[in-house]
Structure 1
């Protein structure tokens, strides 16, 4: 009787071992690199998330892969992420899903890709995003950085707008998106407003028009804006030319009263404020005789020194 009980106990132990469930494994698993948005010394940047998905199932699978931006590091908020410098000084920036900077990549917007994987296969792809630093911020030169923690690479389930890391037969991953920028003592040219004299329908001694040059420099950074003679200058005179080679002289001035001339290679100086500054340019055409009918133009090179 004792031997019979021992045999039953051994059988029970074997059954117990055989009945222990194995750990469940997702049929599709996606992983990604740790992405970076590196502005360098520019105000715009482009970044990517490189992902790879593997199908462990003997049948093909298809799903929508999604990327949800994570929580921004201090002192940033979902509404306004910020990089932090060593002072500490903060630098605002934004991340977009489009290169034109029209649609923010935020908690309400996902990056998505339709993924199809063959049986026991693997596929890879890339999510692309874009960064912009608004100009005119009073941040000193130096290195700045930020992070988006728990940026999610997951699956967009049917009928929802929620990016999920884990779902039936799917497993995703969290990554940290790093952001960095280096501000240098640099100035940049912005919008240049052309001087358009319009149409001359009859004889007039002078036609007035105005344009402008926009620039951005760090606070208190000295700058110099100079204007060359254009393509058709002769001596000290700038001239416009038509397709037949006819010429019309014109001048450039610093002031609306047109008393302070921008000579050829003449310049104007100033100091940066950290915000956009506009330098007006005034240009009369002085006509001694009515020129032949035609379209006259010239191109003046504007040089920003700092």
Structure 2
């Protein structure tokens, strides 16, 4: 009978030890201590070419113990401090979101296809990874990828930045654990500062001014052309030169046979304000968005013009 009574105690003791070995131990602690200091450098917002950067989050885990163990580490990029959104995020001009903003985003992968979110977001997930902690202390990194938006950027020139908050969450890894598991412990660190510089830039293009076909120049003929200007600088100046056949204070078109037709270029439809260089140039204020300006042309009535096709080339100079 003694032997029979002893066995249940022995099996009970073994069962208790087995149950104890499979719980989630939280002996170690993990903390991020720097990064990611994203710096896009000088950004060309008018070219449609994205600017990229990638920087590490550096973290360490203490009190790991004498044997290696696995941990689930989750890196969260908190929502944009100004918009509370995740896609896109914005850098602020001179740290003032109201005066200018540069759209960008953070990603989990080098292909920049998976947006980096947070444990607090229901739509964008944090970066999660299972790491094997070395005995006593583990030092690790997690790379954060960044890219500016390639279109729709009406960003004035200047320096942009933002202090972007992050979180690090961790727990001993067990099968089925996720970044939203209740056992996760979350820590924060000094928000890293992101930087970019948008340079002064302008783009300009022009359409052909076509006066059409006429039987004679007994009366004046009008035509128009458009200049499409996109500038992100504060101001710009548009000058039109005198063309290839200028003579006696007058622009002229030329035919293949050497004949000429006089014409003028103007800032207004009444053809009363000439468009040229210096004091007769046109000035504007850049907004980062496309602006359309009309050049008004006029061929005055004139005699002695032989039939044929006449043309001239005008050089547009954009100063900003």
TM value normalised by structure 2: 0.47
TM value normalised by structure 1: 0.49
Bigger radius of gyration: 2
